[in-house]
A and B are shown apart, each in its own frame.
Chain A
């Protein structure tokens, strides 16, 4: 990187302090033009000083400067962090002065991008930085932090190495036909099968990552007047609700996020859903509701304790039959006419009795949601995002093709082509390339003479 970038690293708006970062060869010399230190600037030591406006010849704030010497910095380049008082005007004046001294305004994510380009982190780690900043719950934060520590990278790296080993075998046979090294393609196929299983288990982690970072998707279903809206509102009041507009929600449905013990839940209320639609508008509403249910991780099935289970309930139960669900028996403050046996006939699932109106047993409900849907903390702390999942699936299809070719007695170079494809897909996840690496390994492993 031959230019120096600058940007405020704290959010716009007033706060106690703000921080501006510079990265690039000129970071320190630019910083010195606008920051007059009280002492000597040493790497990784905080230095107090005054912010100097060289255009006007006056000081405008005081602050702390920390200098990180390359390559021991976040980006791997020369870096400076200046902390000033938290008025955005101050931070922006620092940025302006830095630009006037030869720095360039950083693009979004450019510090992390440079860290990636300079080999400070691979792509999954860089992505994890973004995911950590964006995570919607404490659980999500912890998950993305362990990703940042390299959880997923290590797993992908291992898979890539397994495939590289196979590529090395095949390439040795192709490049050195006279060395008398012969490989057993059956063994290759066996190894491929093993790798395939591992990739599948990684793909399975996709949903979990999404759930913890964005929220576990739950859909509230129930026939009209069963109390969906009151339960929805009660849950929002009970738990800390983050009332923001969530992209992708249709106007037909209300969707809100609640956090239960650090785990985010996205709850959608399917008000207006009629399992037996009577007109076009209702049909369309039904179609959308079905799609929501299809995409959901689980269903909150609401029943009215004061009225017997009827055709509408059974129709709904049919629709959500293959979903994980929690039955919520509402209106227990009224006369109860439904028994647990009646509910069990509708399907499997926990049964919680509440009164949304009187706010009774709501805590038990959220506790149950957490238990049923958030899994346990002993699971591995890794996940895959949708980009990573797409490449994992790409790798998988190459591996399946390679196995098929071995079974069809195809020649090495075509099998190798598929394995190279699979490796490339994994490398897309990590952001690296390999042909030279295959060669290097060939030589460290086999004795090639001719």
Chain B
């Protein structure tokens, strides 16, 4: 019997952040993994970041997470997406050396205080009096804990499909977690099925690169992390190529052999990451589709063929590959495949990612219906922080939609549920112009600091940079050029950012690209940001509205009996807490708010 405070099942991108946060918050934490060698494995594409995801990584980083920092350390090709658009939609993305990421992450986690890394296969959750109390392993070992965080990813009842064949697996040739999936079902969770896929990997030396367009990294790479000090270096290039009608013809002729189109897959796949057969069926008029060739690292010849995700039989994948200009003589090292896995409908969770069904059981990552390393990591850190806060008896940590992409994602999951793998997009955020990479630290680092996830050095630097950014902004707001406000001249395009910066005194001049970006955004979006701030403040004020201790919920007309009972039982202290009670509707909440406001007025009178 092993005894710890918190056990995290699965050492993927969600599990790592969860375990790291829980340990840093002072709890004896065990990170359980099937294979120590595959901690932090990037199962699919070799990159971190991208639109909305880049912002998300910055948020994880600002809270004290590891993904961005490690991504910069092992990054080999960096691009800032949407440079021609405004700062709010600019997102960093880094191609990663997968082996580096895996090794360095494992090594780093081995040095984290309070964190135990252990190899084992979890088969079930130990539940005592409705609370999670540990996990049981395949070898019979019991791990006793006060909280359990599940992050099993595609391993949960995973089933790989290639052509007409399928076999249980969590990732190619790795065992699936079948008992654990069964256990969740038996505990009473509503379980669904999703699907994702990965393309073939090709030997670098067998590719004729002259048929592809080179895609270089940025001259001045933008890091994923606020903490990164070293100069980022583009060590590789990527390549862009295209499919053609010949490729499409082969796919069309063999469609019946694709696992997806033969009806053998019941799980729903992501729309934004379709397989090549999907693209050809759904967009028959497209003459060609993009293929990006992305090296999987420095010390490897494997190249990821982004765009060729497929569940066709190996020989068909081979045949279509050879019809692609530049890949005529390519050597495939791993075929693409589709994988189906179980997920727990996330409407069964609270905003803390704790399950409603079993206390102290938290879920993060693909088990909640999401897709993507970044989405997983974002949930992981929230589950880790909340499991620890709960054990400390402290109030939960819930990020609002108005202040973070993490908040948008979790709120979407919990309130809407999912019917396909959920990916974050900037358009999901109502406050997109505020949720930026250049202010993620201003938005979230104070929280990370409060919980003990941000160390003194990082915090001191943050405060300094924050002050400089905000002072520069206030300075420009009062500057005038020939009687006209400089801010207006800039936002109407009459003066450039360089001219704005020239107005600043030396000590306020931006010292990093982020500081520059911050200034640009705050000037350009001024009116919108002010409006968003007012809305956010109103919501915050409403959330923090205190519910009088002696209120009689049964006397509130219009509330359902069920809610009256729940409110009486949980006695929420604020409207924010009341909002998170399951079954609470906006209408019920406004009845409650109206009652409290009326209450205040009456007591003021008397």
Report A's interface with B, CB cutoff 8 A.
1-3, 104, 107, 117, 167, 171, 174-180, 408-409, 411-414, 416-417, 435-436, 438-439, 443, 447-450
Contact call A174/B561, Cβ cutoff below 8 A: no
Contact with A along B498-536 (1 / 0, CB 8 A): 000000000000000000000000001100100000000
Expressed in whole angstroms, the Cα–Cα distance for A416 and B81 within the complex equals 18
Contact with A along B420-452 (1 / 0, CB 8 A): 000001111010110000000000000000000
Q: How many residue-residue contacts, CB under 8 A, span A and B?
A: 90
Interface: B130 (CB within 8 A): no
- A448 proximity list for chain B (CB < 8 A): 271-272, 274
Which of the residues A174, A417, A436 comes within 8 Å of B51, measured between beta carbons? A174
Contact call B81/A447, Cβ cutoff below 8 A: no
Would you give 22 A-B contacts (Cβ < 8 Å), ordered by A? A1-B560, A2-B583, A104-B558, A107-B558, A174-B426, A175-B52, A178-B292, A408-B493, A411-B85, A412-B85, A413-B89, A413-B433, A414-B86, A414-B524, A417-B432, A439-B425, A447-B274, A447-B282, A448-B272, A449-B273, A449-B279, A449-B307
Contact call B85/A175, Cβ cutoff below 8 A: no
User: Which stretch of B173-181, B247-255, B283-291 is in the interface?
Assistant: B283-291
Report B's interface with A, CB cutoff 8 A.
51-52, 81-82, 84-86, 88-89, 271-274, 279, 282-283, 286, 289-290, 292, 306-307, 416, 425-428, 430, 432-433, 492-493, 524-525, 528, 558, 560-562, 583, 587
Main secondary structure on chain B at its contact with chain A? loop
- A450 proximity list for chain B (CB < 8 A): 290, 292, 306-307
Contact call B282/A174, Cβ cutoff below 8 A: no
A252 to chain B, nearest CB (A): 36
Contact call B84/A449, Cβ cutoff below 8 A: no
Expressed in whole angstroms, the Cα–Cα distance for A174 and B82 within the complex equals 7
Contact call B289/A447, Cβ cutoff below 8 A: yes
Expressed in whole angstroms, the Cα–Cα distance for A277 and B455 within the complex equals 79
A105, closest chain B residue (CB)? B557
Contact call A411/B51, Cβ cutoff below 8 A: no
Contact call A177/B561, Cβ cutoff below 8 A: no
- A435 proximity list for chain B (CB < 8 A): 427-428, 430
Contact call B272/A443, Cβ cutoff below 8 A: yes
Which of the residues A104, A171, A179, A417 comes within 8 Å of B433, measured between beta carbons? A417
- B307 proximity list for chain A (CB < 8 A): 449-450
- A174 proximity list for chain B (CB < 8 A): 51, 82, 85, 89, 426-427
Contact call A449/B428, Cβ cutoff below 8 A: no
- B51 proximity list for chain A (CB < 8 A): 174-177
Contact call A2/B560, Cβ cutoff below 8 A: yes
B2 to chain A, nearest CB (A): 43
- B52 proximity list for chain A (CB < 8 A): 175
- A413 proximity list for chain B (CB < 8 A): 85-86, 88-89, 426, 432-433
B536 to chain A, nearest CB (A): 16
Assess A179 versus B290: contact at CB under 8 Å? Given A174-B85, A174-B426.
yes
In the complex, the 5 A-B pairs of residues with the closest C-beta atoms, listed nearest first: A443-B271, A447-B283, A411-B86, A3-B560, A411-B85
A447, closest chain B residue (CB)? B283
Expressed in whole angstroms, the Cα–Cα distance for A104 and B557 within the complex equals 9
Contact call A2/B562, Cβ cutoff below 8 A: yes
Which of the residues A1, A178, A417 comes within 8 Å of B528, measured between beta carbons? A417
B555 to chain A, nearest CB (A): 13
B307, closest chain A residue (CB)? A449
From B81, B86, B273, name the one whose CB has the most chain A CB atoms within 10 angstroms.
B86
- B273 proximity list for chain A (CB < 8 A): 449
A401, closest chain B residue (CB)? B527
B252 to chain A, nearest CB (A): 15
Contact call B86/A439, Cβ cutoff below 8 A: no
From B88, B89, B286, B289, name the one whose CB has the most chain A CB atoms within 10 angstroms.
B89
- A412 proximity list for chain B (CB < 8 A): 85-86, 89
Contact call A171/B81, Cβ cutoff below 8 A: no
Contact call B493/A439, Cβ cutoff below 8 A: no
- B86 proximity list for chain A (CB < 8 A): 411-414
From B286, B492, B558, name the one whose CB has the most chain A CB atoms within 10 angstroms.
B558
B521 to chain A, nearest CB (A): 10
Expressed in whole angstroms, the Cα–Cα distance for A436 and B420 within the complex equals 12
- A449 proximity list for chain B (CB < 8 A): 273-274, 279, 289-290, 306-307
